[in-house]
Amino acid sequence: MIPIFLAANQIEFLYVWSEARPEGKAIIIVLVVFSIFAWSVMAAKTMQIRRARKLNRLFDVEFRQQKKLTDIFKRNIHVDGCPLYTIYDAGNTELSSCQKRHEEKGNTDEGMISLKSMEHVKRALERGVAQESLKLESGLILLAIAVSGAPFIGLLGTVWGVMSVFASVASQQNAQLTTIAPGVAGALATTVAGLLVAIPSMFGYNWLVHNIRVLSVEMDNFAQELASKVETEFIPDQ
């Protein structure tokens, strides 16, 4: 039963494709290209988010186990694709620069920083959060375009195709159903193609945006915690 159903659908698809006008076929091809790009973005961003989550969990465990804030930084390791580590590295890099400037000014409290320098560390952490958020959000504009634009492109093909059908019927002065139906079916195929692009893109876009927001909140919380630890460990008591 299923093979017969699939065969019938395949025959129907081929028939509708054969009845579509050249402009309708061109629009369907454009929508297929849109779909390929949309699915590629969804797959790539899903892998990126899953990798970021996994590495964040591993780094958080390692971060909680260190005795001093700079222990991991002094090991000079690099973890690509881990947002929390990138923020940690940015904060510690600025902290190290502030410590050197503090010592160059002749201060005796080695390894410490001033309250003014703490503002530089905070800004470095904020920049790290912003840069990682932009990395996670890159490519989402293509999905947004697919969600909002694909149905209208498909509708354009349908309106154009129906207009051409009725113009042809008027010129031939033959308004029989057998004359109109094939052309209308071919014209409606572009709307179906547009919806087939937009609907998966909409679900994928919403899922990605939700998970990116969760990661962004985690990064903000981590940056604030890191700033608090810097103040506790590296600013002398007044």
Length of the chain: 238
Q: Rounded CA gap, 104 and 100, in Å?
A: 6
Of the candidates 38, 1, 30, the one whose C-alpha atom is nearest the C-alpha of residue 141 is 38
Q: In angstroms, rounded to a whole number, what is the distance separating the alpha carbons of residues 73 and 205?
A: 35
User: Domain locations in the chain?
Assistant: 2-234
Task: Tell me if 184 sits within 8 A of 19, measured CB to CB.
Answer: no
pLDDT in tens, the chain (238 residues): 444 333 445 556 666 767 677 787 888 889 999 999 999 999 999 999 999 999 999 999 999 998 888 888 888 888 888 999 999 999 999 999 888 887 777 766 677 888 888 899 999 999 999 999 999 999 899 999 999 999 999 998 888 888 877 777 777 766 666 667 777 777 788 888 899 999 999 999 999 999 999 999 999 999 999 999 998 888 876 5
The pair of structure tokens assigned to 169 is 């019927």
How many whole angstroms separate alpha carbon 207 and alpha carbon 101? 45
